[in-house]
Amino acid sequence: MADPENAKEATTLRYAFGNVLSFFILLLIGVLAFSIRLFSVIKYESVIHEFDPYFNYRVTQEVKGAGAGLTAAALLAMVPSYISRSVAGSYDNEAVAIFALIFTFYLYIKVCSWGGYTFIINLIPMHVLLCIVTGRYSSRLYIAYAPLVVLGTLLAALVPVVGFNAVMTSEHFASFLVFIIIHVVAFVYYIKGILSPKMFKVAVTLVVSVGLVVCCAVMAILIALVASSPTKGWSGRSLSLLDPTYASKYIPIIASVSEHQPPTWPSYFMDINVLAFLVPAGIIACFLPLSDASSFVVLYIVTSVYFSGVMVRLMLVLAPAACVMSGIALSESFSVFTRSIKFQLHGLSGSSQVDSGDASSSTVVAQNDAGKAEKTEDTAKERPSKKSKKKEKGIVDKPSLKAKIERRLLVLPFEASIFAILLLVLLGAFYVVHCVWAAAEAYSAPSIVLTSYSHDGGLHVFDDFREAYAWLSHNTEVDDKVASWWDYGYQTTAMANRTVIVDNNTWNNTHIATVGTAMSSPEKAAWEIFNSLDVKYVLVVFGGLVGYPSDDINKFLWMVRIGGGVFPHIKEPDYLRDGQYRIDSQATPTMLNCLMYKLSYYRFVETDGRGFDRVRQTEIGKKNFKLTHFEEVRYS
């Protein structure tokens, strides 16, 4: 029989080794997360973008342990959906925003967070309400949520962009409603502890009656406020998430952004790859058993899946949730298979041998389970329950039954376990290859430098954007104004140092509609509009010659819709032939005479003699024409 002291020392050393190993694995994951984002720096420019998956590891660790946390961090370090917004050179805020989102979730699970972001401030109340409905209310839940609403609202109101929207918009009403509910529930549990059962029933009746009256009054006030708003108190983007058809009907400026379109099924495989198949297994694992933390993660994955299906940009929100669930699934699977192999290798059979094998092979797991058990016991003590004594009496009997069930589930055939592990390793290798390819090819090229490959494998680099901005910078006056579609506003301002009419941060819909109207108008009318804006140069991006699909001709229909939303004389049907958007011989006269068509296809027929548009795969309708109010100063 083994010496208890030696066994305890071996357990301590093994646990310490596990912690050190976890630290170095996490360090390597951080290096991987940073390195995989350097493809764009190597291929294009030296811009370092920092990324840290540490808090994704921490939030998953709180739910299912260090193994799941490390796995989720490794998955998130390479997931293409996240790389698309955090690659070096992509100077966007989502890399920090998703980090902040996961960090907030981590702090919330640790019961010390506050925040005001719309997704968070609605997801957390949903989790609190779920805990209350399922009988999981505790003082910890109250301490976590009440300061969140108060401090989060106050801090959000201090931000100039948010201001009173923190209390006046419908996006935040759910948090206030749950705030009232949790106080009512806390008060009910409080009086339950100080009153007799008979008096408690009377008090509950009184509290419920008063609570209903207060809730009805609050709801009436909220309904009145919401009804007075044209959008019912919701922002345009929020309404687009709740009603996917809203933006296309009423706010074309939102619908015109490609990131706001619904994703296609291949987008899921591209952005999260094999994680899509592991998420269901992770959800099942979270229910065995279902805790406050795991219920929160389940709620997170459900809401993020819905929102990602409405707007492709929110695939970014789905990526961490998918990594968390996949990390849990892989961790649980490896745990089951490795234990099964270990049992089979030692030839264990019978309950006594299983007990000894269990004690010697699951040390780290036992440590984690012990920590979880302490948290569960602390929470259980704070949850008022009449059955607490019964639970204490049955605490000796339940573990033995549970242990038998666990052993029966964990012991799988040796061959099946080996095959399953090899399959999971192969799946992981496929995921790594896909993520590296996505980082190197799909998400590394900046939007201002385009590349393509010829039939013989030669690389062609199209640097027209930077050349155009350099020309503007060196050949125009500093105070000259440049008109273009809003997509190019930031680039023109930053790289050419010239004033633009609209840019990516223009909130005034009339300004954008004015530019759209000018592009949609005949040449003379467009010149009058631009002249009134003191515009000296007009920048148009055309890709019909080289096959660049994201040019202004493909965006033109949105210019018409946005312009027509403010200026009624611009009518979309005038630009359509039999409901189709055409630029060939069947195009409408309005389309063939608008400024966008003329600036894009001016002298285009001189390239091949036919005027064949490689993007639209057709010959243009109007080939030989001259500009009367505009002059071509540069093309590339």
Mean pLDDT of the chain: 77
Domain assignment of residue 297, yes or no: yes
Question: What percentage of the chain carries pLDDT values higher than 70?
Answer: 74
Whole-model pTM? 0.68
CB 585 within 8 A of CB 613: no
Q: What is the model's pLDDT at position 181?
A: 85
pLDDT band at residue 359 using 50, 70 and 90 as cut-offs: very low
Which one of 417, 446, 475 terminates a domain?
446
**Cis status of the peptide bond prior to 289, with omega within 30 of 0:** yes
Query: Do 395 and 473 reside in the same domain of the chain?
Result: no
Q: What is the model's pLDDT at position 167?
A: 72
CB 172 within 8 A of CB 166: yes
CA distance 610 to 584: 12
Query: Which amino acid, 299?
Result: L
Domain assignment of residue 279, yes or no: yes
Question: What spatial distance separates the first Cα and last Cα of the chain, rounded to whole Å?
Answer: 84
Domain assignment of residue 488, yes or no: yes
Query: Do 491 and 369 reside in the same domain of the chain?
Result: no
Query: Do 260 and 401 reside in the same domain of the chain?
Result: yes
Query: Do 413 and 313 reside in the same domain of the chain?
Result: yes
- Is the model's pLDDT at 386 over the cut of 60? no
Domain assignment of residue 134, yes or no: no
Query: Do 442 and 472 reside in the same domain of the chain?
Result: no
Number of domains in the chain: 2
- Is the model's pLDDT at 238 over the cut of 70? no
**CATH code, domain with 488:** 3.40.50.12610
95-121, pLDDT tens digit by residue?
667 676 667 666 655 543 333 367 777
Domain assignment of residue 145, yes or no: no
Query: Do 419 and 501 reside in the same domain of the chain?
Result: no
Query: Which amino acid, 64?
Result: K
Q: Which of 49-53, 180-184, 346-350, 574-578 has the highest mean pLDDT?
A: 574-578
Which one of 414, 446, 478 terminates a domain?
446
Which one of 389, 417, 446 terminates a domain?
446
Least confident of 87-101, 417-431, 459-473, 557-571: 87-101
Least confident of 20-24, 342-346, 588-592: 342-346
Domain assignment of residue 498, yes or no: yes
Query: Do 436 and 464 reside in the same domain of the chain?
Result: no
312-353, pLDDT tens digit by residue?
888 888 888 899 999 999 988 988 898 888 888 876 544 444
CA-wise closest residue to 59 among 134, 109, 9, 13: 109
Query: Do 410 and 306 reside in the same domain of the chain?
Result: yes
Query: Do 441 and 464 reside in the same domain of the chain?
Result: no
Which pair of structure tokens corresponds to residue 48?
Answer: 């370092």
Query: Do 576 and 605 reside in the same domain of the chain?
Result: yes
Domain assignment of residue 636, yes or no: no
Q: What is the model's pLDDT at position 64?
A: 59
In 434-575, at which residue ranges do the beta strands (DSSP E only) sit? 450-453, 459-462, 481-483, 499-500, 535-538
Q: What is the model's pLDDT at position 72?
A: 73
Q: What is the model's pLDDT at position 449?
A: 80
Domain assignment of residue 10, yes or no: yes
Question: What backbone torsions phi and psi does residue 618 show, to the nearest 5 degrees?
Answer: -160, 160
Which residue segment(s) compose the domain that 483 sits in? 460-619
Query: Do 441 and 366 reside in the same domain of the chain?
Result: yes
- Is the model's pLDDT at 387 over the cut of 90? no
Q: What is the model's pLDDT at position 537?
A: 94
Query: Do 270 and 351 reside in the same domain of the chain?
Result: yes
